[in-house]
Structure formats: C-alpha cells, structure tokens
Amino acid sequence: MLLETISLVRDLPRLHEISSVLIRYGGGDMVRRLGVGSILERAGRVLHWKQAVENEHLEPAVRFRHALEELGPTFIKLGQVLATRVDLFSPHWIAELEKLQSSAPALPFEDMLPQMLLALEGRDPHAVFDELNTTPRAAASIAQVYEAKLKDGTPVIIKVRRPGIEDKIEADLRIMAHIARLVEAEFPETRRYQPRQVVQQFAKSMRRELDLAAEARNIQRFGEKFADDDTVAIPKVYWDYIGHTMNVQERIDGIPGNKITQATAAGLDLRVLADRGANVVLRMILIHGHFHADPHPGNVFYLPGNRIALVDFGMTGMLTHERRNQIADLLISIISKDELALLDVLLEWTGDSVVNEGKLASDVIEFIFNYSSVHLKDISFGNLLNELMAMIREHHLVMPSDLTLLFKTLITLEGLGRQLDPEFDMGDHTAPFVKEVLRLRYAPEAVMKRGVHSVKDIASILTGLPRDLAKFFKELRRGRVRLDIDVKRLDHFGQQLDRTTNRLTIGIMTASLVIGSSIVMTIQGGPKIFGMPVLGFLGFLIAVFNSLWIVFSIWRSGKS
C-alpha cells in the first residue's frame, strides 16, 4: 500500500490530466466514485467539474474516442486494442474505436538522434548509412520512420523510438492498473469485462511494442516461415543496426493496400491479390499459429507479379495447437449442424464465466439453423463472426484475448479481400486449411504423440499421488492446511478500515495532547509564549490542527 501511494503521488500531475479529460468528456461520475477527485483536490489541484457540458451533445462512443485521442499514445493504443474486443463492444463502438490513429506530429531529427546513437553504440548515423533522409517518412505515437541506404546501396527504413516515450507510457500503465483495481471494486457490473486482466495484457503488449528489437525478431520469424513462398514479401532485417530503440529493415516500395485504382492501372490482377492475401493470413493462423494481427491496408503492399508484401509486425497474435483445433471444430460444427459441438467450443472458450447453458444452447441451435443450408464456401465470415460475437455479448461472456484478436483479423481480412474482389469468399479459402488442420490432428505421428503424452501424464499422477497424500496429511497434522477465500470488495473494505483506524489513532493522540498540555499549563517556570508555557501552547496548537483535519476528513467523506 505504501509503495502504491508513493507511486500515485509521483504520477499526480498525469493523474490530474487524465481526470480533467475524463470530466470534460462526461466521465465525472466515474472520477467521483473512484475517489480520484478527492485525492487531487486535497493535493490542491482544481478539477473543472462543469466542463462536461460542452461535450454532452456527442454520443458516448464518440466522447470515449475523443478522450482517448486527447490522452495520448498509451490510451490511443488501448483504444486500438479495445477495438479488437468484438466480444465486449457492439459494432457501433468498434467502428468508432477503429478511427483511432497512432499518427503524431513529427519531432525534429536532432531530437531523435540520441536514440539512434544508442542503438548504433555511438556511431554517427550519417557515417553508417548513405542518403539518410532526415525528414521522417512516417511519424507515429511511439516511433518515427526514416529512409536511407546501406553502404552496399540496399534501400532500408530506420524505425526509431521517440525519446522519453517509455517513462510516460510506464506512468500511464501504473495509473491504468490503479484505476482498473478501483473500477472492479466500485463498479461490480464491470467485473465480467476483467479490467485488471485487460490492463495487464495491454501492458505486456505495450512493452513489447516499445522494444523495437522484438519487432525485428517477429519479422525474421515470418520471413523464415514464408521463405519458400515467392508470392509473399517479408522485409529483411539487418541485425548489425538493431537495438531496443531502433530497428532497420528492408524498404519495400509498392502500392498501398487501399489504392485499388493504382493496382488496376499497374496491371495487377485484383482477384489473384485477394486470393493470395487470404492464403497468407490463413496459413499464418491455422498452420503456423503465429499471425500478423493488424493486416489493415496501410500494412499491406502490392508488388509486381501480383505479390503481397506485409510490413509493421509490432502487433502479432499466437495460437496454440489446441486453439487451432478449436477453430477447426467451430467451422466443422457449423458445417455438420452439430449444435452440441459448437456449444462445447463456446463453453470451453468462455472458461469460468457464469452462463445460462439452457438459454445459450437455444441460441446456438438458432445460430446453427441460420447456417444449416449454407455451404462453407458461401459463408460470409464477417457476418458469421459478428453474429457469434453478438450472441456472446448477450450472454455476458468474455472471450480469451487471443481469440478476439484472431476474429478481428479475420474480419479485417475479409473486408480487404472484398475491396479487391466483390465476389471474394473467405469460406472458399478456409476449407483447404481446415482440412489440413484435421489431417495434422489425426496423422499417425500426431495421435501417437498425444498418446505418449497422456500415458506420461497418468504415470506422473499415479507415481506422485502417494507423496502428495503423505505431504497433505503431514501438513494437516501440523495445522498448516490453509483455506483461501476470495471475498469481493474485501480490498476496498480493508482500505476503508485503514482510513477509519488512522482517524481513530489521530483522535486518541489529539486527546492525549490536550490532557498533557493541560498538565503542562499548571507547571510554573520555563519558557513562555503569550504568558503560557511553550510546550503547553504547542501541544494545544497541534491538537487544534489535528481536530480540524479529522472534522474536514469526515466532512469530505460524506459521513458528517
């Protein structure tokens, strides 16, 4: 608690800024209920509670987006992550959050130079690279991108992290973690959204994105996996110039994914581009289990020969073998009209969430019926996933983060494919990959491997059981068996009890000061002030201040 308080004091200026923005966009009630306003006003920081009036005409989703934009890089990134949570937010909110952009005003090259020197171990970038253009090609909230050439003439881009961004993001993450804990305590209805878990996962994602060397490792992994596919271009990374604050990659100059007219004028076959783009992403998802999680048009380029290039691997997703099998089971259950199999998949995905299985089963049957006469190749993945997410939201279920990222990627991919080819059908491309997943699942070597693992697990349980039982009964005899009970709002109750105890302690000390000072007043001699003994006068003065503090504290908490 002491460390948390010190951290909060350290981040007080940023907390004031965040609270002011929230109030301005209609979040004043939340600031009050979290107690943040009281903390700031006790610190002498004035909050303008009436500023929310100017934004009342905006819809809640629009106000939320504007607030995130004003709060800066960390909160913009949070909004972009929330835009992937199709299981939590309605399409209207998702569409609004998707408008968030990471662009930012460019910093002068001189401000970025220390970051480059750090990655290059003190070497002058102008001596390391040829034709280094000091005007950034792109400026995002976390990094800026410059064009240059290696000494052998290879065109490259240099991605450099903005100076000071790490400290500000870390402060924001600390405040987010604190707010998430308060939100769960004060707003019980938000617990199903798991705000603390969302913030924890977001913090991990942000720290990975800050490490530009991690992005370079992602690029290299994808390059190795697609080394045998000449229809796909992945930038090459140059490890001699890469550090946490900078990475250097091959520069790919192509037609951006949203420039359909340019692609047509260049003689490219749009249908082939759509097919190849879908195959690339589906191969990442269902075969590799590691996928580009942000394949929007800005990160896709079209190259001569109808080749597809992917860039910006800062956000990627991982899928285990089990998860890939579950996705295949989902598609198979829809094809075979097996509502029980689909229900099992959904219940497995939603984990410990409380659900009315009877009502969910009824909705699953209706969902299956709607697709019962539709072949896989005719299924619109966007519609299917949106209906599935609507059903999950209706039942207040929360999906694992890797799945929400995956579904968002698939919806984005289908939208991009339909831009290229109005007749693009995601199901037509998915079927072969589903068959491949099933083939790999039931291949003799895979079945044998699972069997060996099962035997090992059973043997481990059986051999360890006597030892575990002996340890349990030994601890039971010693009285060391402990039962942990997780009581909701217990942390909040503890904080309230702590504040009450502090007031009681100061009250007792104040009473002691009054009694002690009264005794001192009866003693003749010693230094005096205003005709009274100094120690007695000081004791009464401190007692007055303590009394005023206690009265003010009780009044502020609404207990008077």
Tell me, what amino acid is at 119? A
Q: Please say if 253 is a catalytic residue.
A: no
Closest CA to 306 of 260, 273, 280: 273
Q: Which range in 255-269, 382-396, 435-449, 517-531 is most confidently predicted, on average pLDDT?
A: 255-269
- Beta-carbon contacts of 493 under 8 Å, excluding residues fewer than 6 positions away, are none
Write the secondary structure of 234-292 as one string of H (helix), E (strand) and C (coil).
Answer: CCCECHHHCECCEEEEECCCCEECCCHHHHHHCCCCHHHHHHHHHHHHHHHHHHHCEEE
Does the pTM exceed 0.85? no
Comparing 126-135, 272-281, 304-313, 366-375, the range with the smallest average pLDDT is 366-375
Please answer whether residues 381 and 430 qualify as being in contact, where contact means their C-beta atoms are separated by less than 8 angstroms.
yes
pLDDT digit string, tens, across residues 315-367: 788 888 888 888 878 777 776 677 888 888 888 877 666 778 888 888 888 88
CA distances from 91 to 116, 390, 426 (A): 41, 9, 20
Q: Residue 401 pLDDT more than 80? A: no
- Catalytic residue of the set 87, 294, 312, 425: 294
What is the per-residue pLDDT for 301?
92
String of DSSP letters for 77-108: HHHHHHTT-TTTS-HHHHHHHTT---B-PPPP
The hierarchical CATH code for the domain 103-183+193-251 is 3.30.200.20
pLDDT digit string, tens, across residues 508-527: 777 777 777 677 666 666 67
Q: Which range in 114-118, 357-361, 407-411, 543-547 is most confidently predicted, on average pLDDT?
A: 114-118
For the chain, give the mean pLDDT.
Answer: 79
What is the per-residue pLDDT for 1?
38
Closest CA to 45 of 21, 12, 72: 12
Higher pLDDT, 397 or 172: 172
| H or E element that contains 148 | strand 143-149
Q: Residue 484 pLDDT more than 90? A: no
Q: Residue 154 pLDDT more than 80? A: yes
CA 340 to chain centre: 32
pLDDT digit string, tens, across residues 117-143: 988 988 999 999 999 999 999 888 889
What is the per-residue pLDDT for 196?
83
Could you give the 3-state DSSP secondary structure of residue 143? Answer: strand
Please answer whether residues 158 and 146 qualify as being in contact, where contact means their C-beta atoms are separated by less than 8 angstroms.
yes
Higher pLDDT, 83 or 488: 83
What is the per-residue pLDDT for 39?
52
Q: Which range in 165-169, 223-227, 441-445 is most confidently predicted, on average pLDDT?
A: 223-227
Domains of the chain: which residue ranges? 2-101+184-192, 103-183+193-251, 260-442, 446-482, 490-556
Q: Residue 234 pLDDT more than 90? A: yes
Please answer whether residues 417 and 274 qualify as being in contact, where contact means their C-beta atoms are separated by less than 8 angstroms.
yes
